[in-house]
Amino acid sequence: MRPPLPRRSDGLPGARALVRRQLGRLFGPPSFDPATDAGDPGLCGPGSASWHVIGEPAAIAGGLRALLLQVAHPLAMAGVADHSAFRTDPLGRLHRTSAYVTASTFGSTTEALRVARQVRRVHPHVRGTAPDGRSYRADDPRLLTWVGVALTSSFLAADRLWSPQPLDAAGRDAFVREQSAIAALLDPAVDVDGMLADPAALAALRAGQVPLPMLDTGILPSNEVELQATLDDFAPELGVNDQGRAALRFLRWPPLPVAVRGAYLVLYAGAIGSLAPRERRALEFALPTPAATAAVVQTRAMLAAMRAATGVSPNVGAARRRATASTP
C-alpha cells in the first residue's frame, strides 16, 4: 500500500468546524470511544488499508454508492422496506450504517465485536416475503455476502476514483481481506460472546487465528479478483422493484439541511456515475457514459475541497491515539 500524500493535518479551522458539524448531522455522532481499551489497535489498526480508505473523505461518496448498490438486490431491499424505519426516521438507517462501519474499522476490538453483536441481534427478526414471493432473512449468508461486497466494492471504487493516493494492488487485496473479516463476524456461527469474554481470543482474532467460516470457505472474497468474481455472480440477481424505486426517490432527495444539500447532490450524482454500467441498468439509471464521467469529475472536485477544509479524519486521529496509548 502506498503511503498517503502529505497534506494539511488540521484543515482550515473555520471551514473544518462547519463541514464536520454538517457531516455529523448527516452521519450521526462518533460511534467508538477512543478513551477505552488503551493500546488496542482494533481489527484493522494503524497503517491498514481500511484506515487509509475509510479515513478519506472519498469514503463518504463510497458509502452513498454502497447504499445505492444494496438497493439493486430485491431481497435485500425487501428487508429494508419491511423492517427499516427509513420512512419515519429517514436518516436513522444512514446513521446506523455509518456507526457500524466506523466502529468496525476504527473502534477497539471489543467495540467492533459489540457492534457486530448488536447487528446480529436484529437480524433474526428481519425476515419475510419479498413482493415477488421469495422469502428472505437478513442472516442468510447470501444476503450477508451481498451487503458486504456492496460496501467493500464501493469503498474501493471511491478510493480508486477520488483518493489523492489510491491503494496499489496489494493494498486493494488487503482492504478486501480486512473488510471481509469484519463482515464474517455477522455470521451466527461465529462465537462473538465467547471472544468478548476471553482476552486471549481477542488477540487471536486480531492475529487472524480465529475461524471465520464465511471467509475461510470462500463465501466472502479475500482479494480483489475474488471480489469481482462475487459481484459477477450476483449480477443476474439484480434489479429494482417498486420498493427499490421508493428508496431511490428518498436517496435522491433526503431531508437534509439546505447548507449541505448542494454538496450531497454532487456526491449522489458521482456515486451513480461510479457504478458499473450493468449496475446502473439494474437500478434504471439512464445515464450515458459521458454524463457518468462528468459526474465523477465533479465529485472529485467536491471531495478535494472537502479534504482541504477538513484535514485528516478525526476518526483516524482518535483511533491512532488509542492504539498507541500506554496500557494502564
Grid coordinates of 39: 493500546
The pLDDT tens digits for 313-325 are: 788 888 999 999 8
281 lies in some domain = yes
CA-to-CA distance for 282 and 235, rounded, in angstroms? 9
Taking the C-alpha atoms of residue 168 and residue 166, their distance in angstroms, rounded to an integer, is 7
Q: What is the pLDDT of residue 120?
A: 95
What's the pLDDT tens digit per position in 110-145?
A: 999 999 999 999 999 999 999 999 999 999 999 999
Question: Which pLDDT value is given to residue 2?
Answer: 46
User: Domain for residue 87, yes or no?
Assistant: yes
Answer whether residue 1 is part of any domain: no
In this structure, is residue 118 part of a structural domain?
yes
Report yes or no on 4 lying in a domain. no
Closest CA to 138 of 155, 121, 153: 121
How far apart are the C-alpha atoms of 138 and 75, rounded to whole Å? 9
pLDDT in tens, 26-80: 555 556 787 889 999 999 999 999 999 999 989 989 999 999 999 999 999 999 8
Residue 8: inside a domain? no
Flag whether 6 is in a domain: no
Compute the average pLDDT of residues 251-262: 80
pTM for this prediction = 0.90
Q: State how many domains the chain has.
A: 1
Is 70 exceeded by the pLDDT of residue 215? yes
Asked whether residue 7 is assigned to any structural domain, the reply reads: no
Q: Which domain holds residue 128?
A: 13-324
pLDDT digits (tens, 9 = 90+) for 96-112: 778 899 999 999 999 99
